[in-house]
Amino acid sequence: MTIAILKYIVPAVTIDPPFAFEQTYIMSQPAQQSQIEIIVTGFGGQGIILAGRILGMAASLGDKKESTLVQAYGPESRGGACNAQVIISGSAIHYPYVSTPDILIAMSQAGYDKFVVSLTEDSVLLIDEDLVRPERAPCDCFAIPATRMAENLGNKMMANIIMLGFCTAITGAVSNRAAESTIADSVPKGTAERNIEAFAKGFDYGLSTLKGRKKLAAGQVGALAL
Amino acid sequence: MASKTNDKILNILLFLCNWGAHAAFLTLQDQRRPIPHEIRMVRVPCAGRIDRAMLLKAFAQGADGVALVGCEPGTCRYGSGSANSLQNTDDVQRILDIMGLGRKRLCFGAFLPEESEELLHFLQNFTDEINALGPAGIEAAPLIPAFETDDLRRELQQLVTHYDIHACQDCGKCTSACPLALIGKPFSPRAIASAVITGGIHSPGVQENVWSCLTCGLCYDRCPSAVNFPAFIKELRHLYRRTALPGQEVHGGFFHSLMRSMSSKAITPKRWTSLPDEIRTDPESPILFFGGCAPYYDIFFSKHIRTQTNRILIDSLRLLNFFDVAPRLLSDERCCGHDLLWSGDRKNFLRLARINVERLNGLGIETVITTCPECYMTLHTTYADEGLEPKFKVVHLYDFLEEQLEKGAVDFEPFDQVITFQDSCRLGRLEGKVDLPRKLLKRLQPARFVEMKEAAGASICCGNCAWTGCDGYSKALQVKRLEQAHATGSDLLVTSCPKCQLHLTCAMEDPFRREQLEIELMDLTSIIAQTIRWKG
């Protein structure tokens, strides 16, 4: 309905025809195809902003798409709930804020509670399963014990990178290669190798999760024929 | 009458019962009836006493067919002879099937004294059948020429140098750690070391000790001079074989005969014939699953104890399938040769190992996955040590599983049992993978996991290795281990080697203490296969 109305009203507005045409064109496509809107949320200090930054940079520098990042400033980045809003698009982005995310990455309960209301049925929710209880989620939820895995790797600061790997495998929002090379350039010097390893862990976990879902859907639960 | 195949008269061994059937055979001889030339008769007190080891040994020594002839059920002088013969024949026939010789090469017949013509008919039929089948193809184990004294001295000297036996400080740490010595057996590793240095290896005590050593490696672990005692014992056993001293093979040498037969190229085993339908395999895959001897064990031990070691192989395949690996299986898979090497028969071990390496290299196998610790050690380490050149990587199933589980999205169904773990000496101490099974155990969700008093690197043995030198002390050792398992309050003892399972099950058969000793046993692979689940 909205689209029909827009189409109808566009000629009435006095703007440049090509622009108007482009605008209509974008609006008439399903959001997922041309534009992916992502919110990463968690505690300040978890590397939420860095994760958002890596997503955006991987999309623009690696995958040659457009991307924007809006990051939460202020007291949040010192320990409160914090978030980064990323938009990745095949064409120019005109408005950088995300109101209904296609992907929500939640690494804290407070962050989750704040953004769960903006999710739709078609959104994808990614959570750290030890930190977030996904109540009232209207959409598909994928869980990973990212912080625990990072601790096992020897540094819980890498939970965000593990989460990025997981997100890349599940959603394909950015390409594997772009993400890896952006991580290598973005993390503190000397930690690139370990961060790439962390990314790979999260990525493998994501692939494994997808495989598990496929198996479960096909009725294969365990190793024995039941 | 003698039929010839390739101009060679075949060997058919006839074990003939002294009582009913022998009278019939005598009648045939008296009347000069045409008994086939291939038949070589061995008169025995009772056909029921020809055990499975002897039946198989006949083949290992070059027989092309074996006939076991006794008395009709009910006419046996000793009561149970006929039933035993039937059971033994059936077991060995099943083994012959898997070995690829085929059950037809062994048959049982029962005759009354007056049934001489029936016996003749039976023998002629059997001979025709064996002639039709042709030679079995097992080369008889070559006779080993006895050593000259000088040669022996030189060999001993080499052993002492190679294993640096002079480094032994006679401190006794080995004896104080040795599970056999601790259970009360007059056994001392350092005494063996001294005996070799002084050349006294032929004294009965030393000989006995060399054959009953568990080669579990605990003494090597404790030795401050790092004398590799298990490998040293292995070499000593070779030396004993070459000085024509008998070994102390248990179960009548059944398994040694089995493995020796496998070292003949002419044998083509027929493995993996009755896999469950849902198991997926791929005859083109570069990943091979190497099973090991479990199917033979299950047949052989079914007479006494309830064992299901073949289930470990099936569950391994299920787990590989679970992680989307459809492995190749070798229908002509032979034994890895572990027990031949560790019971002093290097010659046949090398023959067997060469066949295996050539076959796997020739097929272009890239990865061999196995779950048996002995197969793993032998394929992974021993083959290269013995100068063979395997071009494939050998991976233990646990390593594969740990790698897959590490990727995540899989979890385990909780089960309401307290578990404890029996380490395999080959996987743990000798291959240094003490932590690997524990990583997997920690992923499981039992009620509790409790270690036994002597666990991990200090774990004590299941009581026997390479089917040699089992005695009352071995049993006492196994009983001690089972008591340790009970002391943890566990109700499930997890094993990682089929032999641990066999030996500990055997110890539970103690008629006086069965109730105190009994505990459920299950292989780690099977527990994983049973409780693993995809997580959505």
- B496-527: per-residue pLDDT in tens? 999 999 999 999 988 888 889 999 999 999 99
The b/e string for B407-430 (b: 16+ C-beta within 10 A; e otherwise) is: bbbbebeeeebebbbbbbbbbbbb
Instruction: Give the model confidence (pLDDT) of B34-65 as tens digits.
Output: 999 999 999 999 999 999 999 999 999 889 99
CATH architecture of A34-207: 3-Layer(aba) Sandwich (3.40)
CB atoms B407 and A223 under 8 Å: no
Determine the CATH number of domain B149-242: 1.10.1060.10
pLDDT exceeds cutoff 90 at A33:
no
| % chain B with pLDDT above 90 | 76
pLDDT exceeds cutoff 90 at B156:
no
CB atoms B322 and A216 under 8 Å: no
Any idea which residue has 């070779």 for tokens? B238
Instruction: Give the model confidence (pLDDT) of B466-488 as tens digits.
Output: 998 888 999 999 999 999 999 99
| Cα gap B391→B515, rounded to integer Å | 49
The fold adopted by the segment(s) B12-133 is: Rossmann fold (3.40.50)
Q: For chains A and B, what is the number of CB pairs under 8 angstroms?
A: 59
Q: Taking CB atoms and an 8 Å cutoff, what residues of chain B touch A216?
A: 534, 536
Given a contact cutoff of 8 angstroms between Cβ atoms, the answer to whether B90 and B322 are in contact is no
pLDDT exceeds cutoff 90 at B402:
yes
If pLDDT is split at 50, 70 and 90, which confidence band does B244 have? low
If pLDDT is split at 50, 70 and 90, which confidence band does B362 have? very high
Q: Which two tokens stand for residue A52?
A: 């958002």
CB atoms A212 and B528 under 8 Å: no
Query: Which residue in A has a C-alpha nearest to residue B323's C-alpha?
Result: A223
pLDDT exceeds cutoff 90 at B276:
yes
- Per the prediction, chain B carries an average pLDDT of 92
In the CATH hierarchy, which top-level class contains the domain B409-534? alpha beta
Instruction: Give the model confidence (pLDDT) of B165-221 as tens digits.
Output: 999 988 999 999 999 999 999 999 988 988 888 878 888 888 889 999 999 999 999
The fold adopted by the segment(s) B267-403 is: Rossmann fold (3.40.50)
**Which residues make up the CATH 1.10.1060.10 domain(s) of chain B?**
149-242
User: Residue B407 has what pLDDT?
Assistant: 87
Query: Which residue in B has a C-alpha nearest to residue A152's C-alpha?
Result: B406
Q: pTM for the complete prediction?
A: 0.87
pLDDT exceeds cutoff 60 at A20:
no
If pLDDT is split at 50, 70 and 90, which confidence band does A77 have? low
Q: Taking CB atoms and an 8 Å cutoff, what residues of chain A touch B536?
A: 209, 212-213, 216
If pLDDT is split at 50, 70 and 90, which confidence band does B133 have? very high
Domain ranges of chain A: 34-207
Q: What are phi and psi of B409, to 5 degrees?
A: 65, 15
User: Residue B245 has what pLDDT?
Assistant: 63
User: Residue A62 has what pLDDT?
Assistant: 93
User: Residue B90 has what pLDDT?
Assistant: 96
pLDDT exceeds cutoff 80 at A19:
no
**Which residues make up the CATH 3.40.50 domain(s) of chain B?**
12-133, 267-403, 409-534
Q: Taking CB atoms and an 8 Å cutoff, what residues of chain A touch B410?
A: 208, 212
* Closest among B340, B423, B444, B356 to B392, alpha carbons compared: B356
CB atoms A221 and B407 under 8 Å: no
- Per the prediction, chain A carries an average pLDDT of 83
CB atoms B408 and A144 under 8 Å: yes
pLDDT exceeds cutoff 90 at B70:
yes
Instruction: Give the model confidence (pLDDT) of B303-327 as tens digits.
Output: 877 788 999 999 999 999 999 999 9
If pLDDT is split at 50, 70 and 90, which confidence band does B239 have? confident
Determine the straight-line distance between the first and last CA of chain A, rounded to whole angstroms.
49
